[in-house]
A and B are shown apart, each in its own frame.
Chain A
Amino acid sequence: MTELPPTDRETAVPPGLRRRGFLAATAGATATAGLVLAGCGTGSGSSGTGGGTPRRGGRLRAAFAGGGASETLDPHLGNLFADVARAKALYDKLADCGTDMSARPRLAAKWEPNDTLDRWRITLRKAAFHNGKPVTAEDVLYSFRRIADPKKAYRAKASLEPIDLAASRAVSPDTVEFRLKRPTAEFPNVLAAFGAYIVPAGTTTADFARLVGSGPFRFVSFTPGRSCVVRRNDAYWDGAPHLDELEFVVANEESARVNALLGGQVEYAHELNPTTARAHEGKGQIEIVRLRNSAMQSFAMKTDRAPFDDKRVREAFFLIADRKELVDGALSGAGEIGNDLFGKGYEYYAADLPQRHQDLDRARHLLKQAGAEDLRLTLDTSPVAAGFTEAAGIFRDQAAKAGVTIQVKSGSKDSYWSDILDSGTLCCYRSGAMPIESHFSQRLLSGSTTNATKWRHKDFDALYQQAQSTKDKKERAAVYGRMQRRLYTEGGFLVWGFADWIVGTSRRVRGVAHDAPANTLDWARFDKVWLA
């Protein structure tokens, strides 16, 4: 649900122009720092760049990679980081993801389920749209129905699937009762879904030209692919922003974003390369903010076909990977090693499982047992995400040491995600931050629509349903623990690392959250930022 937006546009420049960190240099101890954000209840992350008292005023310009002339302000259509950052400035969701990916109330002041967890009562806080009208239950229902329109393909549609919208109703202007198709303990995650923004009832596509949201900033102007200007909303329910104005500018080329930042043309540059970060970190010219745990990096093995239908082969592959080498080489050290599980540091993460290390002897032994000596296979990769081709090359060399011959095949970056969904046996894979429960429901259930590892097990599905109908959080955590243990021993995702998301800011910028993975509430949250 809180999926990292597709990064096609990250590569919307000729490959030759991209300066990707190829250096397998020693990147310091960051990779093993093992940031643990203990369970739930972590505050909404107020630690920021620099301190001091917030100062009011000024205009901040933020550079993002964008979608060019086809960008839209429709918050339900947004696909890119730039879209989300803009939507976040102008609109609100009922809930949003905290640093540990647990849902935090936003427009929803509170949520209460019934005993069977299939009916949820949401109480809205007192909030108003920019035209002064209050945000009501009708607006919420209208927005969700718009997203779920069967004739359209809005991004959050699949996330809202558990809701029976026809049976859901407004109890009072500030109370919505959602009826669900089945028990869903993690329903607040649905409210925090990527793109589930609340717009005024009756808003249509044409209305996004004269935008009315309930967000911290009011709309001023927008030119697709160039710039979007917004101004402080003094009546914002969560406190007026410190900035007078905020301008989003689009610069697809990473070097252009860095140059604009260095040259003082922007104060915030999103998505920088590890090599750029290293060149400028601690030099005093600009600040480098590393958002840990933003992107899970892995190889996906298709568990329904040879050779990975044998779990001994999958375990052998887990043991082939030298994770440190992959993080240092493919991510230029900007990240930390993984343990074959999604969501390191997030709520419900099974942190008690031992860290896996390379063990080539055992891997060879397992392959022999499985009758898979002299194994030959193809690893699909593509320049679709930073580090993919490098990771493939490094893993090929590591596998060779265990007697496995891997042929790396590079595919088209524009259709990669759809190409690897059903074809091939082994591929590079990555994912943005989302709750662990969403990772299960979207990718690891028999009915999941994007099940790249073809992990289909009735008992695993049953465990998921059990968790969703368990009201007690501790008991639920135990079920999630069992599911993760299973994936750790015989799953299809070889999760070798978690990449940092790197943001550069001018030295005047204060209040940028350091512990917010990309796509969470505090990421790109400009209402809490100020200019010193």
Chain B
Amino acid sequence: MSVVPAVLRSWLARRLLLGVAQTAAVVLLVFVLTEALPGDAAVALAGDQPDPARIAAIRTEMGLNRPAAERLADWVVGLLHGDLGTSLTSGRPVAAYLTDGFGPTLLLAAVTVVLLVPAGVGLGVLAARREGSVADRLVSSMTLAVYAVPEFALGVLLVTLFALRLGWLPPTAVGSGGDLLAQPAVLVLPVLVLLSRPVCSISRLVRAGMIDALRSPYARQAARYGLSPARVRYAHALPNALAPAAQQLARTVDWLLCGVIVVEALFVIPGLGTVLMNAVAERDVPVVQGLAVVFGLVAVVLNLGADLVARRLAPRAGVAA
């Protein structure tokens, strides 16, 4: 850490501490909220056969008759030992749920980000090159239009057109299990749906940031020094435009990783979003808590990374801890 300046180090430490506190708060909040929901895992499991004796038996077997505080304490102790607990409904370890669901979600997120960065930045730069040009107006109106379409509607539209009408792509990832790479074609439509909105927001941010930067005194000064317009644009203006985009990107990745429920449901991708939906429906508190920890940590780490990148790209903008 010696290469890291002291100021940055203390800033990092503060950020990490804050992150841990935030994660703990999220977990506590999730626990309280799931406790506050009507019914518990026993009631959910009993379904349309709510025989009180059976519910009581399930409750005893699951240990739900113990006080909430005691269950939370047990869980926290387990967590400190790296044990996320076991699912109430299946008795399988929560860690297995997370690792099973993480693969597909991570793959989707990775493919989306790999395509998102060049597409978003490229479109933004293209639009910013000449403000008000045909290209600019086309990009701006298209991104606004696509951004306005909900993922679910877009997904249904794409499936109907490309899978059912034209038959080019598989309509869902059904039957691929978790191994989506074995059949890369199943990834195309989900990734398109996932890309649609972030591409719009990022390209618009890049465009706005670049136009601002090109108008700024330092860009004009650089031009007066005789630097080529391309160099001014890419070496001086673009990094300034990228700082807000990087933060937006972190939020996007966060959103992608935390399981894009709509896309997973629509395309039958057994990722974290699906795990979360089922766990909430079943009141499977340990699984929900485990997911909350993971989502909390992912959000903290990603935002930290984004702030670091933003600091690096545009130090003068300053980054609040």
Contacts and interface: CB of A to CB of B under 8 A. Distances in A.
Interface of A: 3-9, 11-14, 16-17, 61, 63, 67-72, 79, 151-153, 155, 157-158, 205, 223-227, 247, 249-253, 255-256, 259-260, 262-263, 265-266, 411-412, 414-415, 417-419, 421, 430-432, 449-450
Interface string B166-186: 010011101101100000000
B228 interface: no
B92 interface: yes
Given A256-B266, A417-B47, A419-B39, 18 more contacts: A6-B46, A6-B49, A16-B152, A69-B275, A70-B92, A72-B90, A152-B61, A225-B270, A252-B277, A256-B267, A265-B175, A411-B38, A412-B38, A414-B37, A414-B281, A417-B48, A418-B43, A449-B54
Interface of B: 37-39, 43-55, 57-58, 61, 87, 89-92, 96-97, 100-101, 152, 156, 159, 163-164, 167, 170-172, 174-175, 177-178, 261-262, 265-268, 270, 274-275, 277-279, 281-284, 287
Contacts of A259: 159, 163-164, 171-172
A228 B286 CA distance: 25
Nearest to A68: B278
Output the residue of B44, B58, B172, B281 with the most chain A CB within 10 A.
B172
B152 A70 contact: no
B200 to A, nearest CB: 21
A414 B46 contact: no
The 10 closest A-B pairs by CB, nearest first: A6-B47, A415-B39, A68-B278, A418-B50, A70-B90, A263-B171, A259-B171, A449-B51, A153-B57, A70-B89
Given A6-B49, A414-B37, A414-B43, A260 B174 contact: yes
Contacts of A412: 37-39
Contacts of B58: 153
A414 B38 contact: yes
Contact of B163 (A223, A227, A263): A263
A17 B87 CA distance: 26
Nearest to A411: B38
A439 to B, nearest CB: 13
Contacts of B167: 263
B274 A414 contact: no
Given A12-B278, A158-B51, A256-B267, A262 B171 contact: yes
Nearest to A69: B97
Contact of B44 (A14, A247, A415): A415
A66 to B, nearest CB: 9
Contacts, number: 188
A151 B59 CA distance: 11
A415 B275 contact: no
Contact of A8 (B52, B152, B262, B282): B282
B258 to A, nearest CB: 15
Contact of B175 (A72, A249, A411): A249
Given A69-B278, A152-B57, A256-B265, A226 B270 contact: yes
B265 A418 contact: no
Contacts of B91: 205
A263 B164 CA distance: 6
A151 B58 CA distance: 9
Nearest to B44: A414
Contact of A263 (B38, B47, B172): B172
13 contacts: A7-B48, A61-B175, A69-B275, A70-B87, A70-B278, A158-B54, A223-B177, A252-B277, A260-B174, A263-B167, A412-B38, A418-B39, A418-B43
Contacts of A13: 265, 277
B48 A6 contact: yes
A265 B267 CA distance: 12
Nearest to B267: A256
Nearest to B277: A12
Output the residue of A69, A253, A266 with the most chain B CB within 10 A.
A69
Given A69-B275, A70-B282, A251 B54 contact: no
A251 B174 contact: yes
Nearest to B51: A449
A17 to B, nearest CB: 6
Given A8-B47, A71-B90, A265 B170 contact: yes
Given A223-B177, A252-B274, A17 B262 contact: yes
B100 A69 contact: yes
Given A12-B278, A68-B275, A69-B275, A417 B61 contact: no
Contacts of B268: 249-253, 256, 260
A247 B266 CA distance: 20
Contacts of B43: 414-415, 418
Nearest to A420: B50
Nearest to B281: A12
B61 to A, nearest CB: 6
A79 B175 contact: no
B47 A247 contact: no
B263 to A, nearest CB: 11
Nearest to A5: B47
A17 B171 CA distance: 17
Contact of A266 (B45, B51, B174, B275): B174
A153 B97 contact: no
Nearest to A432: B48
